[in-house]
Structure formats: structure tokens, C-alpha cells
Amino acid sequence: MNKIEGVILDWAGTTVDFGCFAPVNVFIDIFKHAGVDVTMEEARAPMGLLKIDHIRAMLSMPRISHLWQERFGREFNEQDVEKLYAEFEPALMSSLSEYTDLIPEVIEAVQTLRSQGLKIGSTTGYTQSMMDVVVPNAHKKGYSPDFYITPDGTNSLGRPYPYMIYRNMEALKLSASWKVVKVGDTTSDIKEAVNAGVWSVGVIIGSSEMGLSLSEYDALSEVDQEKAISRTEQTFLQSGADFTIKTMGELPELIERINSLILEGKRPSAGLTYLVEGIY
């Protein structure tokens, strides 16, 4: 059967938590407590990684690394990473349940895909203990994938490693990587998909990459909305996405177009973008 068998979705910024705000404020706070002020953009840049890897990536940024050396008179070390993470996890856990509202069009898109016989998997940068909060709250609001896994289930080898996608394929009995679509809202999601050899799709509105809350997005003029969409789209495409969609509501139509490409003998491009009329 030469068509898509399963779709693997990210969580925060893709299916729940419009704008992916739950972790961002905590990252800013823990660095501030350490005496280093980081920007919203710096806190978002590594989004999608396992959260301790995210902290490590932030500390490795030239500006933050320089500020750290000024503050402590030395380069950061692994003990600093672990200390910051020890503050991060309980702070996030205390507020995480407040950030589990579903992003518009998710339920409808998933229902459509399931009605077509597709399996719904998921990957995340959250740990298992974090997902123990997110999963039941999302379920109460109407969303439950057929399978989910965290980096805890892959020996802490999260994105951009492909192993969480492979575990989804195994659990859902998906027969080939080119019959799988991965949808996410960060460059880490895109790289995870490229490394796994599956079709890579970036979802724009509500994404961490766009970085706007729903009210902030709605407050923009139509021109500024289009600028934000275009900027986010280009970032995804430059990271290797096969496609972008504005919202999850466009996903079922995109799956149909990918099925047509598969029938033509096309496979995931690993960075060579397909231009499909009507689909961003």
C-alpha cells in the first residue's frame, strides 16, 4: 500500500499550548535567578530539545556564555547545567497543567486522519514526568494520540536524534519511513524528521518558532500576520522541511497531496523542498 500510514505529532506548540509558552518563561526565570538575563528569543531558540539539552544549548550560545563567564569568572560546566535543570523541572511542573489547552483545529484534523485509517503517534522534548501531567489533561480536552514517547524512552537521546520516531513506527507498525509524516513547530522537530527519513512538516500558527500567543497573533494586522507566517515558513524550509502548513486544519489535504507524490515515486526530500500549489 503506497500511501501514508501514520502521522507523528509534536505536543507543545503543535497540538497543545498555543505559542509553546509553558517552558519559555521558566527558562528565562532560572537564568535570571543565576544572575544572567536571557531574551525570549534565546530561550526559544533550542525549543524541541530534551529540556536539559535545551539548557546546555542556551549556555553554549556566545552571548549567554560570555555573560556567564562575566558573572562567575569561568566557563559553564556540567554541574551548572544540572543545577539549572534541578530548578527548571519543579518550576515547570508546578505550572504545566495550565498549558494543556488544545490548539485550534487539532481535534478535527486528528478525527479526519483517523477516519482515513491513519495512526497518530507523537514525540516530545518533555520528560515522562512532565507528560504525566500533559497527557491526561489533553485527554480530558479531547486529544489522545495512539502512542507517545519521551526521550526517557530512548536513553535520553531526544531530538534531533530520530529514535523517538523509530519507536513510534515500531509501536504503530508503520512499515516504512516514507509512509510516515512528522509534524512539529520547531527546527528541532524538522531535524528529527529529516534524520529519521520521514516527511517533515512545520506548522506555523501557534508554533514556538513564531512565538506569539493567540491574542498577540489575533492583534496583528493582516499584513503583519503574513510577515510572521512568511518568516516562520522560511525558517522551517531552511531547516529541511518538506512542507509547511499554516494550521493543523490543512494537514489532511497535505496528506492527500503527499500520497499523490508517493504514487509518482517521490520520497521525503531530506531538505529538498517540494513546492505544492496551495500548500505552504
pLDDT above 60 for 275 = no
pLDDT band at 41 (very low <50, low <70, confident <90, very high): very high
Tell me: domain 6-20+100-263, CATH 3.90.400.10, correct?
A: no
Instruction: For residue 103, give the nearest of 225, 248, 252 by alpha carbon.
Output: 248
In order of 26, 80, 119, 156, 275, the CA distances from 110 in angstroms are: 30, 41, 9, 28, 24
**Sequence-distant (≥ 6) Cβ neighbours of residue 37 within 8 angstroms:** 31, 67
Q: Which residues participate in the annotated binding site?
A: 10, 12, 185
Q: How far apart are CA 223 and CA 263, in angstroms?
A: 37
- The burial class, CB within 10 Å (0-12 / 13-18 / 19+), for 115 is exposed
Binding-site residues for Mg(2+): 10, 12, 185
pLDDT digits (tens, 9 = 90+) for 218-269: 999 999 999 999 999 999 999 999 999 999 999 999 999 999 999 999 999 7
Q: What is the pLDDT of residue 1?
A: 76
Q: Considering the entire predicted model, what is its pTM?
A: 0.92
The set of catalytic residues is 10, 51
Domain residue ranges of the chain, discontinuous segments joined by +: 6-20+100-263, 22-98
Phi and psi based region of residue 184 (left: phi greater than 0; alpha: psi -120 to 50; beta: remaining): beta
Q: For 22-98, CATH number?
A: 1.10.150.240
Residue 270 pLDDT more than 90? Answer: no
What is the average pLDDT value for the chain, to the nearest integer? 95
Checking if the pLDDT of 52 tops 60, the result is yes
